[in-house]
Amino acid sequence: MLYLDRRAYTSGGIPRSAGGTRPAAAVASGLVAPLLTAWAPGRVNLIGEHTDYSGGLVLPAAIQLGVTVTVDALSDAVALTSTKLGPGEPFAPDGGGAPVGGWARYGQAVAAELAGLGRPPLGLTARIDSTVPAGAGLSSSAALEVGIALALCAAAAFELEPLQLALACQRAELRAVGVPCGILDQAACVLGRPDTAILLDCATLEHRQVPVPGEAALLVIDSGVERSLESSGYAQRRQELEHALRLAGTTRSTEVSLPQLEGLDPLSARRLRHVVSENRRVLDFAAAFEERDLAEAGRLLLASHTSLRDDYEVSIPELDLLVELACAAGAHGAQLLGGGFGGSVLALVDTARADEIASGVASRYRERSGRDGRSLTAHASAGASVQR
Protein backbone atom coordinates (compact mmCIF):
# COMPACT_ATOMS: atom_id res chain seq x y z
CA MET A 1 0.00 0.00 0.00
CA LEU A 2 1.30 3.46 -0.82
CA TYR A 3 1.23 6.05 1.89
CA LEU A 4 1.72 9.78 2.16
CA ASP A 5 4.75 10.88 4.14
CA ARG A 6 3.74 13.92 6.15
CA ARG A 7 7.21 15.08 7.26
CA ALA A 8 7.33 18.87 7.39
CA TYR A 9 10.30 21.11 6.85
CA THR A 10 10.58 22.99 10.08
CA SER A 11 12.19 26.32 9.60
CA GLY A 12 12.58 27.64 13.15
CA GLY A 13 13.21 31.31 13.65
CA ILE A 14 16.14 33.02 12.03
CA PRO A 15 16.96 36.21 13.92
CA ARG A 16 16.93 39.24 11.68
CA SER A 17 19.45 41.89 12.65
CA ALA A 18 18.24 45.45 13.28
CA GLY A 19 19.56 46.60 9.92
CA GLY A 20 18.04 43.57 8.23
CA THR A 21 21.28 42.53 6.55
CA ARG A 22 24.75 41.22 7.31
CA PRO A 23 27.68 42.24 5.09
CA ALA A 24 27.86 39.46 2.48
CA ALA A 25 31.61 39.96 2.01
CA ALA A 26 32.24 39.29 5.68
CA VAL A 27 30.17 36.10 5.49
CA ALA A 28 31.81 34.90 2.29
CA SER A 29 35.26 35.53 3.77
CA GLY A 30 34.43 33.20 6.63
CA LEU A 31 34.37 35.95 9.28
CA VAL A 32 30.68 35.34 9.88
CA ALA A 33 29.00 31.93 9.58
CA PRO A 34 26.23 31.59 6.96
CA LEU A 35 22.68 31.79 8.29
CA LEU A 36 21.69 28.46 6.80
CA THR A 37 22.42 26.02 4.01
CA ALA A 38 19.82 24.25 1.88
CA TRP A 39 20.64 21.07 -0.04
CA ALA A 40 18.53 19.75 -2.94
CA PRO A 41 19.61 16.68 -4.93
CA GLY A 42 19.17 15.76 -8.59
CA ARG A 43 17.47 12.46 -9.40
CA VAL A 44 17.48 9.40 -11.56
CA ASN A 45 14.23 7.78 -12.57
CA LEU A 46 14.61 4.01 -12.57
CA ILE A 47 11.52 3.51 -14.68
CA GLY A 48 8.25 5.31 -15.44
CA GLU A 49 9.08 7.97 -18.03
CA HIS A 50 6.42 10.35 -19.35
CA THR A 51 3.85 8.90 -16.97
CA ASP A 52 3.84 11.63 -14.30
CA TYR A 53 1.75 14.26 -16.10
CA SER A 54 -1.11 11.82 -16.63
CA GLY A 55 -1.32 10.75 -13.00
CA GLY A 56 0.73 7.63 -13.66
CA LEU A 57 3.42 5.77 -11.71
CA VAL A 58 7.13 6.57 -11.40
CA LEU A 59 10.09 5.08 -9.53
CA PRO A 60 12.78 7.75 -9.00
CA ALA A 61 15.64 8.07 -6.52
CA ALA A 62 17.40 11.21 -5.34
CA ILE A 63 21.13 11.08 -6.06
CA GLN A 64 24.37 12.24 -4.48
CA LEU A 65 24.73 15.25 -6.83
CA GLY A 66 22.77 18.38 -6.08
CA VAL A 67 22.46 22.08 -5.44
CA THR A 68 23.69 23.82 -2.28
CA VAL A 69 22.17 27.21 -1.45
CA THR A 70 24.14 29.03 1.22
CA VAL A 71 22.23 31.95 2.71
CA ASP A 72 24.62 34.60 3.93
CA ALA A 73 22.29 37.39 5.02
CA LEU A 74 18.72 38.61 5.04
CA SER A 75 18.02 41.51 2.75
CA ASP A 76 15.30 43.60 1.07
CA ALA A 77 15.64 41.71 -2.23
CA VAL A 78 16.58 38.18 -3.27
CA ALA A 79 20.13 38.29 -4.65
CA LEU A 80 21.52 34.93 -5.79
CA THR A 81 25.03 34.27 -7.08
CA SER A 82 25.90 31.04 -8.85
CA THR A 83 29.50 29.87 -8.54
CA LYS A 84 29.33 28.65 -12.17
CA LEU A 85 27.08 31.24 -13.82
CA GLY A 86 27.82 34.38 -11.81
CA PRO A 87 25.38 36.80 -10.17
CA GLY A 88 21.72 36.56 -11.13
CA GLU A 89 19.55 39.65 -11.46
CA PRO A 90 18.03 40.45 -8.02
CA PHE A 91 14.25 40.26 -7.66
CA ALA A 92 11.57 41.16 -5.12
CA PRO A 93 11.05 38.69 -2.22
CA ASP A 94 7.50 38.00 -3.41
CA GLY A 95 8.72 37.30 -6.96
CA GLY A 96 6.82 40.34 -8.28
CA GLY A 97 8.05 43.10 -10.56
CA ALA A 98 9.56 42.85 -14.03
CA PRO A 99 10.59 39.32 -15.04
CA VAL A 100 14.34 38.76 -14.65
CA GLY A 101 16.29 36.93 -17.33
CA GLY A 102 18.75 34.04 -17.26
CA TRP A 103 18.90 31.37 -14.59
CA ALA A 104 17.57 33.70 -11.84
CA ARG A 105 14.09 33.43 -13.39
CA TYR A 106 13.78 30.04 -11.68
CA GLY A 107 14.33 31.77 -8.33
CA GLN A 108 11.87 34.56 -9.11
CA ALA A 109 9.22 32.01 -10.14
CA VAL A 110 9.79 30.00 -6.95
CA ALA A 111 9.48 33.18 -4.85
CA ALA A 112 6.20 34.07 -6.60
CA GLU A 113 4.74 30.58 -5.99
CA LEU A 114 5.76 30.68 -2.32
CA ALA A 115 4.27 34.16 -1.91
CA GLY A 116 1.01 32.73 -3.24
CA LEU A 117 1.14 30.19 -0.41
CA GLY A 118 1.67 32.92 2.20
CA ARG A 119 5.46 33.10 2.63
CA PRO A 120 6.36 36.42 4.28
CA PRO A 121 8.22 38.63 1.76
CA LEU A 122 11.74 38.44 3.25
CA GLY A 123 14.72 38.72 0.90
CA LEU A 124 18.19 37.24 1.23
CA THR A 125 21.60 37.02 -0.35
CA ALA A 126 22.79 33.51 -1.15
CA ARG A 127 25.44 31.58 -3.03
CA ILE A 128 24.44 28.67 -5.25
CA ASP A 129 26.71 25.78 -6.04
CA SER A 130 25.54 22.90 -8.26
CA THR A 131 27.18 19.56 -8.93
CA VAL A 132 24.33 18.38 -11.22
CA PRO A 133 25.34 18.58 -14.90
CA ALA A 134 22.78 20.61 -16.90
CA GLY A 135 21.03 18.93 -19.82
CA ALA A 136 22.00 15.40 -18.77
CA GLY A 137 18.51 14.38 -17.65
CA LEU A 138 19.36 14.49 -13.93
CA SER A 139 16.93 17.29 -13.03
CA SER A 140 19.31 20.16 -12.48
CA SER A 141 16.46 22.68 -12.72
CA ALA A 142 14.26 20.91 -10.16
CA ALA A 143 17.22 20.76 -7.76
CA LEU A 144 17.76 24.49 -8.26
CA GLU A 145 14.09 25.27 -7.65
CA VAL A 146 13.82 23.11 -4.54
CA GLY A 147 17.11 24.43 -3.12
CA ILE A 148 15.99 28.03 -3.54
CA ALA A 149 12.51 27.26 -2.20
CA LEU A 150 13.91 25.62 0.92
CA ALA A 151 16.26 28.53 1.54
CA LEU A 152 13.46 31.08 1.08
CA CYS A 153 11.13 29.14 3.41
CA ALA A 154 13.72 28.56 6.11
CA ALA A 155 14.92 32.17 6.03
CA ALA A 156 11.35 33.38 6.57
CA ALA A 157 10.49 30.72 9.19
CA PHE A 158 7.76 29.54 6.81
CA GLU A 159 6.78 25.88 6.95
CA LEU A 160 5.57 23.71 4.09
CA GLU A 161 5.17 19.96 3.81
CA PRO A 162 7.73 18.48 1.40
CA LEU A 163 5.21 17.62 -1.29
CA GLN A 164 3.56 21.05 -1.05
CA LEU A 165 6.99 22.56 -1.62
CA ALA A 166 7.56 20.18 -4.54
CA LEU A 167 4.25 21.16 -6.13
CA ALA A 168 5.12 24.86 -5.77
CA CYS A 169 8.42 24.19 -7.56
CA GLN A 170 6.66 22.24 -10.32
CA ARG A 171 4.42 25.27 -10.93
CA ALA A 172 7.52 27.49 -10.81
CA GLU A 173 9.07 25.50 -13.68
CA LEU A 174 6.03 26.30 -15.82
CA ARG A 175 6.06 29.93 -14.70
CA ALA A 176 9.80 30.36 -15.31
CA VAL A 177 10.36 28.61 -18.61
CA GLY A 178 6.94 27.43 -19.77
CA VAL A 179 7.71 23.72 -19.40
CA PRO A 180 4.53 21.84 -18.40
CA CYS A 181 6.44 19.19 -16.48
CA GLY A 182 4.93 16.64 -14.13
CA ILE A 183 5.81 16.20 -10.44
CA LEU A 184 8.46 13.49 -10.91
CA ASP A 185 11.63 15.57 -10.53
CA GLN A 186 10.59 17.83 -7.67
CA ALA A 187 8.96 14.97 -5.73
CA ALA A 188 12.08 12.80 -6.06
CA CYS A 189 14.15 15.70 -4.80
CA VAL A 190 12.16 16.10 -1.56
CA LEU A 191 11.30 12.42 -0.92
CA GLY A 192 14.72 10.80 -1.50
CA ARG A 193 16.15 8.36 1.05
CA PRO A 194 19.56 6.64 1.06
CA ASP A 195 19.66 3.33 -0.85
CA THR A 196 15.98 3.70 -1.69
CA ALA A 197 13.82 4.40 -4.71
CA ILE A 198 10.37 5.95 -4.30
CA LEU A 199 7.33 4.35 -5.91
CA LEU A 200 5.05 7.33 -6.42
CA ASP A 201 1.49 7.56 -7.68
CA CYS A 202 1.52 10.97 -9.37
CA ALA A 203 -2.26 11.38 -9.13
CA THR A 204 -2.61 10.86 -5.37
CA LEU A 205 1.04 11.53 -4.38
CA GLU A 206 0.90 8.36 -2.27
CA HIS A 207 4.29 6.73 -2.20
CA ARG A 208 6.32 3.95 -0.68
CA GLN A 209 9.99 3.09 -0.49
CA VAL A 210 11.60 0.38 -2.63
CA PRO A 211 15.12 -0.64 -1.52
CA VAL A 212 17.80 -0.56 -4.20
CA PRO A 213 19.65 -3.91 -3.95
CA GLY A 214 23.31 -3.47 -3.00
CA GLU A 215 24.43 -5.56 -5.97
CA ALA A 216 22.66 -3.18 -8.40
CA ALA A 217 24.59 -0.17 -9.73
CA LEU A 218 22.76 2.65 -11.51
CA LEU A 219 25.06 3.74 -14.30
CA VAL A 220 24.18 7.06 -15.93
CA ILE A 221 25.80 7.44 -19.36
CA ASP A 222 25.56 10.88 -20.95
CA SER A 223 25.08 10.94 -24.72
CA GLY A 224 26.71 14.37 -24.91
CA VAL A 225 23.61 15.61 -26.76
CA GLU A 226 22.36 18.34 -24.46
CA ARG A 227 18.65 18.31 -23.94
CA SER A 228 16.47 21.27 -23.08
CA LEU A 229 12.84 20.52 -22.30
CA GLU A 230 11.98 24.07 -23.40
CA SER A 231 13.07 23.42 -26.97
CA SER A 232 12.23 19.71 -27.19
CA GLY A 233 8.93 18.07 -28.15
CA TYR A 234 8.03 17.62 -24.47
CA ALA A 235 5.03 19.99 -24.44
CA GLN A 236 3.77 18.49 -27.70
CA ARG A 237 3.95 14.96 -26.26
CA ARG A 238 1.96 16.10 -23.26
CA GLN A 239 -0.73 17.61 -25.53
CA GLU A 240 -0.88 14.45 -27.62
CA LEU A 241 -1.27 12.31 -24.53
CA GLU A 242 -3.98 14.53 -23.06
CA HIS A 243 -5.86 14.31 -26.35
CA ALA A 244 -5.59 10.51 -26.27
CA LEU A 245 -6.80 10.41 -22.65
CA ARG A 246 -9.80 12.56 -23.54
CA LEU A 247 -10.67 10.07 -26.28
CA ALA A 248 -10.42 7.29 -23.68
CA GLY A 249 -12.70 9.28 -21.38
CA THR A 250 -10.36 9.96 -18.45
CA THR A 251 -7.51 12.18 -17.26
CA ARG A 252 -5.66 9.42 -15.39
CA SER A 253 -3.55 6.93 -17.32
CA THR A 254 -3.84 4.34 -14.53
CA GLU A 255 -7.56 4.10 -15.35
CA VAL A 256 -6.93 2.99 -18.95
CA SER A 257 -6.40 -0.62 -20.02
CA LEU A 258 -4.80 -1.79 -23.26
CA PRO A 259 -8.06 -3.06 -24.90
CA GLN A 260 -9.43 0.51 -24.65
CA LEU A 261 -6.87 1.62 -27.22
CA GLU A 262 -8.63 -0.23 -29.99
CA GLY A 263 -10.48 2.22 -32.21
CA LEU A 264 -8.30 5.23 -31.31
CA ASP A 265 -6.44 6.98 -34.11
CA PRO A 266 -2.94 5.47 -34.56
CA LEU A 267 -1.01 8.35 -32.96
CA SER A 268 -3.26 8.50 -29.87
CA ALA A 269 -3.11 4.71 -29.54
CA ARG A 270 0.71 4.71 -29.63
CA ARG A 271 1.10 7.53 -27.11
CA LEU A 272 -1.38 5.97 -24.71
CA ARG A 273 -0.01 2.45 -25.19
CA HIS A 274 3.38 3.65 -23.98
CA VAL A 275 1.96 5.21 -20.83
CA VAL A 276 -0.42 2.38 -19.97
CA SER A 277 2.26 -0.28 -20.47
CA GLU A 278 4.84 1.85 -18.63
CA ASN A 279 2.61 2.10 -15.55
CA ARG A 280 2.51 -1.70 -15.49
CA ARG A 281 6.30 -1.92 -15.92
CA VAL A 282 6.84 0.41 -12.94
CA LEU A 283 4.96 -1.98 -10.65
CA ASP A 284 6.73 -5.01 -12.12
CA PHE A 285 10.13 -3.33 -11.79
CA ALA A 286 9.48 -2.47 -8.12
CA ALA A 287 8.53 -6.12 -7.52
CA ALA A 288 11.67 -7.31 -9.34
CA PHE A 289 13.86 -5.01 -7.20
CA GLU A 290 12.18 -6.26 -4.05
CA GLU A 291 13.00 -9.81 -5.16
CA ARG A 292 16.53 -8.72 -6.14
CA ASP A 293 15.84 -10.03 -9.65
CA LEU A 294 18.11 -7.79 -11.69
CA ALA A 295 17.66 -9.81 -14.89
CA GLU A 296 13.91 -9.16 -14.82
CA ALA A 297 14.42 -5.50 -13.88
CA GLY A 298 16.79 -5.13 -16.83
CA ARG A 299 14.32 -6.77 -19.20
CA LEU A 300 11.70 -4.24 -18.11
CA LEU A 301 14.12 -1.35 -18.69
CA LEU A 302 14.71 -2.51 -22.25
CA ALA A 303 10.98 -2.88 -22.88
CA SER A 304 10.56 0.63 -21.53
CA HIS A 305 13.20 2.04 -23.85
CA THR A 306 11.63 0.32 -26.85
CA SER A 307 8.26 1.79 -25.94
CA LEU A 308 9.73 5.28 -25.44
CA ARG A 309 11.50 5.00 -28.80
CA ASP A 310 8.71 3.52 -30.92
CA ASP A 311 5.42 4.50 -29.29
CA TYR A 312 6.29 7.75 -27.53
CA GLU A 313 9.04 8.82 -29.99
CA VAL A 314 11.23 10.69 -27.51
CA SER A 315 14.52 8.89 -28.20
CA ILE A 316 17.34 9.90 -30.52
CA PRO A 317 19.90 7.65 -32.29
CA GLU A 318 22.63 8.42 -29.74
CA LEU A 319 20.44 7.21 -26.86
CA ASP A 320 19.46 4.08 -28.79
CA LEU A 321 23.14 3.41 -29.46
CA LEU A 322 24.04 3.79 -25.77
CA VAL A 323 21.30 1.35 -24.78
CA GLU A 324 22.57 -1.16 -27.35
CA LEU A 325 26.21 -0.76 -26.26
CA ALA A 326 25.39 -0.96 -22.55
CA CYS A 327 23.52 -4.24 -23.05
CA ALA A 328 26.29 -5.63 -25.27
CA ALA A 329 28.82 -4.74 -22.54
CA GLY A 330 26.90 -6.69 -19.90
CA ALA A 331 24.22 -4.37 -18.49
CA HIS A 332 21.01 -6.13 -17.42
CA GLY A 333 19.11 -3.44 -19.32
CA ALA A 334 19.06 0.28 -20.05
CA GLN A 335 16.64 3.00 -21.01
CA LEU A 336 16.66 6.69 -21.75
CA LEU A 337 16.52 8.82 -18.63
CA GLY A 338 14.01 11.61 -18.03
CA GLY A 339 12.33 13.45 -20.88
CA GLY A 340 14.53 12.10 -23.69
CA PHE A 341 15.45 14.03 -26.89
CA GLY A 342 19.06 13.95 -25.59
CA GLY A 343 20.64 13.64 -22.16
CA SER A 344 21.53 10.28 -20.67
CA VAL A 345 20.57 6.64 -20.44
CA LEU A 346 20.31 4.71 -17.20
CA ALA A 347 21.92 1.26 -17.31
CA LEU A 348 21.33 -1.33 -14.61
CA VAL A 349 24.58 -3.18 -14.01
CA ASP A 350 26.17 -5.42 -11.39
CA THR A 351 28.01 -3.25 -8.89
CA ALA A 352 31.17 -5.32 -9.31
CA ARG A 353 31.22 -4.66 -13.09
CA ALA A 354 30.16 -1.00 -13.16
CA ASP A 355 33.60 0.50 -13.96
CA GLU A 356 34.44 -2.10 -16.61
CA ILE A 357 31.06 -1.67 -18.35
CA ALA A 358 31.29 2.14 -18.20
CA SER A 359 34.70 2.24 -19.84
CA GLY A 360 33.74 -0.37 -22.45
CA VAL A 361 30.64 1.60 -23.45
CA ALA A 362 32.57 4.89 -23.54
CA SER A 363 35.19 3.60 -25.97
CA ARG A 364 32.67 1.88 -28.28
CA TYR A 365 30.44 4.98 -28.19
CA ARG A 366 33.37 7.20 -29.16
CA GLU A 367 34.19 4.89 -32.11
CA ARG A 368 30.58 4.77 -33.32
CA SER A 369 29.40 8.35 -32.68
CA GLY A 370 32.53 10.46 -32.29
CA ARG A 371 31.21 11.67 -28.91
CA ASP A 372 32.36 11.12 -25.33
CA GLY A 373 30.05 8.83 -23.35
CA ARG A 374 30.84 10.20 -19.92
CA SER A 375 29.29 8.24 -17.09
CA LEU A 376 28.75 8.27 -13.38
CA THR A 377 27.34 5.81 -10.91
CA ALA A 378 24.27 7.31 -9.24
CA HIS A 379 23.73 6.40 -5.60
CA ALA A 380 20.22 6.58 -4.22
CA SER A 381 20.60 9.31 -1.60
CA ALA A 382 18.84 11.49 0.93
CA GLY A 383 16.38 14.11 -0.23
CA ALA A 384 16.40 17.87 0.28
CA SER A 385 17.26 19.29 3.70
CA VAL A 386 18.21 22.47 5.55
CA GLN A 387 21.12 22.93 7.92
CA ARG A 388 21.80 25.85 10.21
Catalytic residues, by residue number, are: 185
Q: Give min distance, CB of 298 to ligand GAF, in A.
A: 19
Complete edge-to-edge strand list for the sheet that includes strand 333-336? 333-336, 344-350, 216-222, 375-378
Cα–Cα distance, 209 to 380 (Å, whole number): 11
Please identify, using beta-carbon distances, which residue of 179 and 354 lies nearer to ligand GAF.
Answer: 179
Nearest to 181, CA basis, from 237, 102, 115:
237
CB 245, CB 272: distance < 8 Å: yes
Q: Give min distance, CB of 124 to ligand GAF, in A.
A: 27
Please identify, using beta-carbon distances, which residue of 115 and 297 lies nearer to ligand GAF.
Answer: 297
The one-letter code for the residue type at 353 is R
**Helices within the chain (DSSP H only):** 24-28, 104-116, 140-155, 162-177, 184-191, 234-248, 266-290, 294-310, 317-328, 354-369
178's CB contacts (< 8 A; 6+ apart) are: 230, 235
Please identify, using beta-carbon distances, which residue of 92 and 169 lies nearer to ligand GAF.
Answer: 169
**Helices within 249-373 (DSSP H only):** 266-290, 294-310, 317-328, 354-369
CA-to-CA separations, 375 to 135, 231, 322, 365, in angstroms, rounded: 14, 24, 11, 12
Please identify, using beta-carbon distances, which residue of 91 and 234 lies nearer to ligand GAF.
Answer: 234
Q: Give min distance, CB of 114 to ligand GAF, in A.
A: 20
Nearest to 137, CA basis, from 300, 342, 296, 279:
342
Three-state secondary-structure class, residue 223: coil
Q: Give min distance, CB of 229 to ligand GAF, in A.
A: 6
Cα–Cα distance, 101 to 107 (Å, whole number): 11
- What is the binding site for ligand GAF (CB under 6 A)? 45, 49-50, 52-53, 181-182, 184-185, 229, 338-339
Q: Give min distance, CB of 66 to ligand GAF, in A.
A: 16
Please identify, using beta-carbon distances, which residue of 81 and 223 lies nearer to ligand GAF.
Answer: 223
Cα–Cα distance, 213 to 139 (Å, whole number): 23
Please identify, using beta-carbon distances, which residue of 168 and 357 lies nearer to ligand GAF.
Answer: 168
Q: Give min distance, CB of 282 to ligand GAF, in A.
A: 11
